[in-house]
Amino acid sequence: MNRFVERFTSSIITVLACHDRVIFKGYLPFGGDEHLNRFVDHGLKIKRKDFLPFVEKHSQRIVEHAKSLAQKADVPYQFLQGDHSKEKIVRDLLRAKPYADGLVTVLCVMENCRSVKLLHDAGRPRLAFRRRPLRVLYHYFLDPDFGLIHVRQETGFPFTVQVYVNGHDWLARQMHQQRLGFVQTDNAFTQLDDPQRAQTLADGFARLKWVDVLDRWVRLVNPLLDESWLGQRSYRWVVDQAEFSTDVLFDSQASLQQIFPTLLQHAALNFSADDILGFLGRRRHPCFDGEVLTDLKTNRLPGARVKHRVKGNWLKMYDKFGVVLRIETVINQPRDFKVRRQRLRHGQRVMLWCPMNKGVCNLPHSHAIARASNERYLDALAQAVMPCAAAAIVDQVHKPVRFKGRRSRPLNALSPAEQKLFFAVLRGDHRLRGFRNTDVLAHLYPTPARCAAERRRRTNAVSRKLHLLRAHGLIRRVPRSYRYLITRKGESLMNAAIYVRYRAFPKELAA
């Protein structure tokens, strides 16, 4: 059980981890400018100046196909100009009259997209990919398995497509098919009759046959895929953005609102850059090229939130409807994470840690990374509301103990020396993989040793301190390694001691 859930178990009804918004993008396999010009010269065998009129005719076919779909389904086709909220338009349509599964509406807007321009060059003109205004079609569907989705189709070559899916809507459809009771408000569940079965269903979202699902949707909106001039090319699908949320459902608004302001303050003031990187499964490296930012907004409507940014990836905490505490990891740049892959090295296949790309096959890896990130974040929040340790634990550490045949002295948890050691082992970058003697040494002795003998004395001193913490059960050694991890007893005692000295009675203990 997560430490946060364990601590507030009397107020928590259930916990659900599920994908929220997932955005897929599909690209036809046309590479850079050189590939495009070779395709026109040798594949289509037409003049480069005739290519733009050629694709404009096919762009119009996509628009006419969308109008035909809307007319057959008896739904509105709208061309929007100026500022409009497409989500509001769709919600108003669904509220005005009930729609069966199928097309809800088609919205046409002008947006800047990657398309083709004809450039004048020495000798002969050339085609190049540039951004320019194009008509973009948003097809909104009620899918029998996924609920409300939309497919964004660019009408200009190379006809890039984007698909929006919400994991909570998909889970609601799955629970409805299996006759599981639930109450859904917007994109959150405020009641679940069988949380365990709901979690089992939610875990299957990342392992769906996404290529088949996405190809089925895109064939509904793009009539050009069977054209001979495209050479039977199919879309290459990637995950452009993946949001994964862990919802902690409280029994009442009063229970959550009693601790939520403290959680926000703790996350904004106490989580360092090392902590945030540790939550995301990373460590601060001298070659790290980026920013780690924390943004707290308490005057935001409908509610307050804290957001941690690491380059293009986010970790957020906010409340939903006053009863759901949501921890959310958003992955926009997956190459900041690593996965195990087979690679060819010296003629042999070996397993290596490689940067994770955006391919749709990596969605299960993204699911695992984001879920672990949310769990580590919740685990760290357990100490936000006045850390405490049981009286029995405090009495134990203030008595001498025997460990591996040696007598170890008692701890003085409030002394400056012990507190400095507690700070050294509680650092955020130690949560993920643990810590070694050298990690604690660098924190306790920031200045370098003057000679080898002094370095050995420091190392031996840190070893004795770690042996003392192990004897009292505050840390444990990772088997077959030189690393240590903090135990639950150590987490509660050391955090409580730091809270008493620096938050509860700072002036009295300093005097």
Q: Which of 171, 153, 169 is nearest to 214 (CA)?
A: 153
Locate 30 and state its tokens. 């046309």
Is it true that the peptide bond before 158 is cis, omega within 30 degrees of 0?
yes
Under DSSP, is residue 130 helix (H, G, I), strand (E, B) or coil? strand
Residues 38, 231: Cα–Cα separation, whole Å: 14
Q: Which of 372, 28, 401, 84 is nearest to 229 (CA)?
A: 28
Residues 500, 454: Cα–Cα separation, whole Å: 34
* Structure confidence at residue 366 (pLDDT): 93
φ, ψ of residue 473 to 5 degrees: the values are 80, 20
CA end-to-end span of the chain: 40
Residues 377, 371: Cα–Cα separation, whole Å: 10
Please state the domain extents for the chain: 3-12+246-381, 29-159+204-234, 391-510
Locate 343 and state its tokens. 């690679």
Report residue 313 CA to chain centroid gap.
Answer: 7
Inter-CA distances, 15 with 168, 231, 324, 347, 443, Å = 14, 49, 9, 47, 37
Q: Decide the pairing of beta strands 102-119 and 475-477.
A: unpaired
DSSP string computed for 215-253: HHHHHHH-TTTT-GGGTT--PEEEEEEEEEEEEEEES-H
Residues 218, 133: Cα–Cα separation, whole Å: 22
DSSP 409: P
For each successive 10 residues of the chain (511 residues), what is the average pLDDT? 81 93 93 87 88 91 94 92 88 83 92 90 86 93 92 92 95 93 91 93 94 93 88 89 94 90 86 86 76 84 83 91 93 90 87 90 93 91 71 79 87 85 79 82 87 91 90 89 87 80 64 60
Residue identified by tokens 């599920």 is 18
* Structure confidence at residue 83 (pLDDT): 83
Report residue 213 CA to chain centroid gap.
Answer: 22
**Amino acid at site 91:** R
* Structure confidence at residue 398 (pLDDT): 83
Locate 291 and state its tokens. 């920013």
Q: What are the residues whose beta carbons fall under 8 Å from the beta carbon of 330, sequence distance 6 or more?
A: 241, 242, 243, 244, 313, 314, 315, 316
* Structure confidence at residue 299 (pLDDT): 78
Residues 155, 70: Cα–Cα separation, whole Å: 17
* Structure confidence at residue 153 (pLDDT): 95
How many CB atoms are located within 10 Å of the residue 428 CB?
20
What CATH number does the domain located at 391-510 have? Answer: 1.10.10.10
